[in-house]
């Protein structure tokens, strides 16, 4: 798919509901309301991917002392392997401020780990008890140097 067909739209109060729907539909984690309030305050940055007028994915990140932290990235099942995730992560890599980017992914989420490896994220450490309420609570921390 031509990445240029994918529009990337910043999340505001007007399209926050669409972000919430993408997150609950694509990710197993449930975020508290403070996560969404932080987007309106500007401490979390969020974008939607829109294809032919339909929201198909999202990315959320936050600048932290240790680097740019990719918090959420999800694409609807029916729209995967068509470059939507690529458009979202490239936006994150382009816009994030730090020299290092990092994320946590469930160690059994092989598809996502392969996706991040395709963008030169490397495994830094294995973190037990990272997730609450999931069958597998172990996360892999992946990092990428951005220059």
Ligand X SMILES: CC(C)(COP(=O)(O)OP(=O)(O)OC[C@H]1O[C@@H](n2cnc3c(N)ncnc32)[C@H](O)[C@@H]1OP(=O)(O)O)[C@@H](O)C(=O)NCCC(=O)NCCS
The residue ranges that bind ligand X (CB under 6 A) are 26-27, 73-75, 80-86, 103, 105, 109, 111-112, 114-115, 118
Tokens of 78: 């029916």
Instruction: List C-alpha distances in Å: 21 to 25, 45, 55, 100, 101.
Output: 6, 17, 10, 29, 26
Nearer to ligand X by Cβ, of 3 and 14: the residue is 3
Tokens of 111: 């598809």
Nearer to ligand X by Cβ, of 62 and 80: the residue is 80
Nearer to ligand X by Cβ, of 25 and 43: the residue is 25
Contact 139, 129 (CB under 8 A): no
| Cβ-closest position to ligand X | 85
The CB-of-2 to ligand X minimum distance in angstroms stands at 12
- Which of 107, 13, 1, 20 minimizes the C-alpha distance to 58? 20
The CB-of-98 to ligand X minimum distance in angstroms stands at 18
The CB-of-39 to ligand X minimum distance in angstroms stands at 17
């Amino acid at each position: 798919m031509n990445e240029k067909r994918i529009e990337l739209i910043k999340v505001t109060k007007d399209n926050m509901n669409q972000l919430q729907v993408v997150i609950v539909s694509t990710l197993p984690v449930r975020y508290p309301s403070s996560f969404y309030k932080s987007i309106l305050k500007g401490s979390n940055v969020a974008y939607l991917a829109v294809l032919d007028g339909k929201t198909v994915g999202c990315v959320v990140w936050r600048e932290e002392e240790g680097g740019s932290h990719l918090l959420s990235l999800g694409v609807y099942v029916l729209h995967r392997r068509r470059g939507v995730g690529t458009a979202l992560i490239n936006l994150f890599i382009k816009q994030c401020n730090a020299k290092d980017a990092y994320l946590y992914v469930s160690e059994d989420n092989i598809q996502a780990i392969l996706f991040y490896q395709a963008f030169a994220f490397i495994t830094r450490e294995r973190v037990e008890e990272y997730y609450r309420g999931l069958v597998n609570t172990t996360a892999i921390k992946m990092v990428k140097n951005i220059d």
